[in-house]
Amino acid sequence: MAAIGIGFFILWLALAMWVYFDATDRGKASIGWALAMFLAGWLLVAPLILYLIFRDVGARPAVAPGAGRRQYLYIVGFVGFATLVIGLSLLISTTIARIISEEAVGDEGYREALAASVAAIIIGAAIWIYHWLRAEGRLRSITEDEEFRATFFLHRAYLYTLFAVSWIIAFLSGMWFLGGGLANAFGVEHVEPVGWLPALGPLVVALLAVGTHYLFSFETASYKQLLSRFEAIPPPPLIGASAPAEVRATTVVPTAPPAAERTERRFCSHCGARVGGDDAFCSSCGERLRSA
């Protein structure tokens, strides 16, 4: 049952991360849409349908080529890493609880949790390592500036999102661990180590996630070179909305009328036809014209 629960959570997380990374690629409010997916988990289909309706509405940056491939790599990589983190946290927390009290975690429950956590670790690690290495290799091999800028933008969003989520997990589990430890030290009733020591699992895993990505993917010479190239490329043009009209003041300069219009107009006194200024006879009736 634990494995099934993890599977449904990973599926839900994958859909939420697709919305997040796709909105990031399109210049939309990615955090807002992702929060809508998480907070409205019981209405999972509703935020997804709304996003599909409004994803191409309004002003947005032009999407560079290769959007599907780059989104796939970072979405699946993030989901794989999340699966790995869940498996490690479950394994450490359940083992700590089992060591503290066999009554808290029975033999059957521990074996079930152990099987689910090991499966999550193996599958998550394989998926994450494969897709993350492919994503980094593809990023370095892109030569077209527009696609590189869009790919690096998602790459950086992936790292910042992982840092933010990991720090939130570390903060919450750290508060749980520290609060329970202090309460136990102060002799608060009904506070047992089995209630707060398992929080050490997600705390350690979250800190390892931050440290690993910071040292090997963020604070590196390769990342800084990619960042310099990214900053040198201008952002894509906006589409989906007409640019504001420019109002330009125009100065009307009076011009002199043509020479033909400045001369006095002549008409035949016999038939009324218009004649030229140098004509001696009317071209219509042939009568001799009187001189002006």
pLDDT in tens, 139-192: 999 999 999 999 999 999 999 999 999 999 999 999 999 999 999 888 888 888
Same domain, 217 and 114: yes
All residues at 6 or more sequence positions from 193 whose CB lies less than 8 Å from its CB, including other chains: 100, 180, 184
Q: Which two tokens stand for residue 125?
A: 């690690």
Residue 234 lies in a domain: yes
Same domain, 215 and 292: no
* Amino acid code (one letter) for 153: F
Same domain, 232 and 286: no
Question: Three-state SS for 191?
Answer: coil
All residues at 6 or more sequence positions from 6 whose CB lies less than 8 Å from its CB, including other chains: 83, 86, 87, 116, 120
Q: Once rounded to an integer, what is the mean pLDDT over residues 195-208?
A: 93
Same domain, 132 and 267: no
Same domain, 147 and 263: no
Residues 25-80: tens digit of each pLDDT: 888 888 888 788 777 766 657 777 787 787 777 777 878 888 888 899 999 999 99
The pTM for the full model equals 0.73
Domain limits at 290?
Answer: 258-292
Q: Once rounded to an integer, what is the mean pLDDT over residues 82-109?
A: 88
Residues 216-250: tens digit of each pLDDT: 988 899 999 999 999 999 988 887 755 444 434 44
Same domain, 193 and 85: yes
Q: What is the pLDDT of residue 236?
A: 85
